[in-house]
Homo-oligomer: A and B are copies of this chain.
Amino acid sequence: MSENNSTRGDMPVDEFRQLGHQMIDWIADYLKNIEQYPVLSQIKPGDVKNKLPQQPPETGDGLKNIFDDINNIIMPGITHWNHPGFMAYFNSTASGPGILAEFLSAAFNANGMLWRTCPSSTELEQLTLGWLRQMLILPDDYWGIIYDTASVSTLHAIAAAREYAGEKFALRKKGMIGNSAPRFRLYCSEQAHSSVDKGALTLGIGIDGIRKIAVDEKFRLIPGELKNAIDEDKANGWLPFCVVATIGTTSTTSIDPLDEIAKICNAENIWLHVDAAYGGTAAIVPEMRCILNGIEHADSIVVNPHKWMFTPVDLSAFFTRKPDVLKRAFSLVAEYLKTTEQNKVESYMDYGVQLGRRFRSLKLWFIIRYFGVDGIIERLRFHLKLTQDFAAWIKAHQYFKQMAPAPLSVICFRAVLKNKTEDEIDKLNEMLMNNVNSTGKIFLSHTKLHDRFVIRLAISGINTKEKHVELAKTLLDEKLNELKNNG
């Protein structure tokens, strides 16, 4: 038991300093040796929880014992997102400057709900989002705010769209109860992220209020189908109020034709939200900026630096050209939150569900400053190149077949063996993926395309190098051979 526990107050600063230095070394060693750990945790359900006391301790304990538990119990249950062999989902890695900034942010413990509760939090958020806006070449009239996750950013986008279309129904006052709400309808492609559905459900749009639009052979929303759906719905008494286009879908990273979609939305005065949570980051690379063509005609966009810009979770950047609508949907200023300067400053609490706000801009500022825009571009370009190299390997492979275009840093593929049914091939690829994951060297995930099991390999880890992609190839070959020989 630590001595200071018998006195009031916090951990003594000297103890904090000593433990802090120990922790720095622990973390530095962890990051240095991260490849010695299995990237995907290999434990069984319950292995962590059942090894720890089910009752809280009455008396305090020292950090040494806590760290013993971390080493022995917590570590085996960690899936290491910063491991260069993490190639599942959209693998998201935290860079050194980002980790250090998070530490500093925790020490400040500032809550930037109002300007005065931490002016630096509000103003650094304005500044760094201005930087990110310039890096993405978004028009000047895009105003920015940091939320926690893309799901929350998209929820806010749809809420703003609802407010925009609902104003003439006095939606804020009357709500959507009884028969006061129009028959709102939202559109996105069949390949859009589940957060679009979840946001719509939360906002009371319902499953019936979401219309999924068919995609082309490259898994991109078909603008003509969108136009037809809107026309048909209007004829049937629906109120089309929001379209979500995706730049980098989760399954295949397909890129919806933003420019054409924007034309339809503008003609109909429908809010266009762009989900570029993962893919948007690629637009920082000059030769990739074209993926955002048409953004000048959209209403809002989400880009997550915590996905592919080396920022520790969580940090989701949301930009909109209609911040007044967003504010109208969410602003509620209680007396205890009023300040003398409130008409001269921006208080981010007015633009969202959350009142409490962590000092998140600090880590984005550290990262952009430390790497520089050129350094970030160089790293993204390298990931794009590694992806094309892997795609070339798939193309030349005897058994693997690429199942979708790979415009960004994710490749979808599966092994195709002759004399096997499609169902058998599904099963084979699922086993192949699981067997690769069981090695603890590489972590892959999957999706389904045309209802068939497809392996996804994502390359966006800051420390992922050629050798890790080579290891992925080797393991895929090795495990496929084993399955072929055994099956």
Contact = CB atoms under 8 A, between A and B. Distances in A.
B151 A355 contact: yes
Interface string A5-34: 100111101111101110111011011100
A193 B337 CA distance: 11
A63 B100 contact: yes
Contact of A371 (B45, B60, B171, B193): B60
A306 B356 contact: yes
B23 A28 contact: no
Contacts of A66: 365-366, 369-370
Nearest to A95: B10
Interface stretch (A218-226, A268-276, A339-347, A398-406): A339-347
A36 to B, nearest CB: 14
A135 B81 CA distance: 33
A120 B74 contact: yes
Contacts of A99: 16, 103, 106-107, 109
A174 B149 CA distance: 27
Contacts of A254: none
A259 interface: no
Given A10-B95, A356-B313, A104 B176 contact: no
A75 B119 CA distance: 10
Given A48-B124, A208-B174, A379 B24 contact: no
Contact of A206 (B124, B148, B175): B175
Contact of A174 (B93, B206, B358): B206
B61 A372 contact: yes
A14 to B, nearest CB: 8
A70 B337 CA distance: 27
Interface string A102-119: 111111111100011111
Instruction: Indicate how many identical chains form the complex.
Output: 2
A326 interface: no
A283 to B, nearest CB: 14
A152 B43 CA distance: 32
B108 A78 contact: yes
Contacts of A31: 10, 13, 16, 107
Contacts of A341: 45
A339 to B, nearest CB: 9
Contact of A177 (B43, B205, B456): B205
Nearest to A41: B119
B24 A21 contact: yes
A217 interface: no
Interface in A74-109: 74-82, 89, 92-100, 102-109
A24 B17 contact: yes
B356 A148 contact: yes
A66 B200 CA distance: 41
Given A47-B119, A148-B356, A23 B104 contact: yes
A374 interface: yes
Given A152-B353, A197-B332, A356-B314, A43 B203 contact: no
A243 interface: no
A323 interface: no
A100 B16 contact: yes
A336 B177 contact: no
Given A27-B103, A46-B123, A155-B353, 8 more contacts: A11-B96, A16-B99, A21-B21, A63-B370, A74-B120, A162-B204, A174-B207, A175-B184
28 contacts: A5-B375, A16-B96, A19-B96, A41-B119, A45-B345, A48-B119, A57-B372, A60-B369, A60-B370, A61-B372, A62-B370, A65-B369, A74-B124, A77-B118, A79-B119, A102-B103, A148-B354, A149-B356, A173-B208, A175-B208, A177-B204, A179-B179, A195-B355, A198-B332, A198-B353, A201-B330, A203-B203, A204-B204
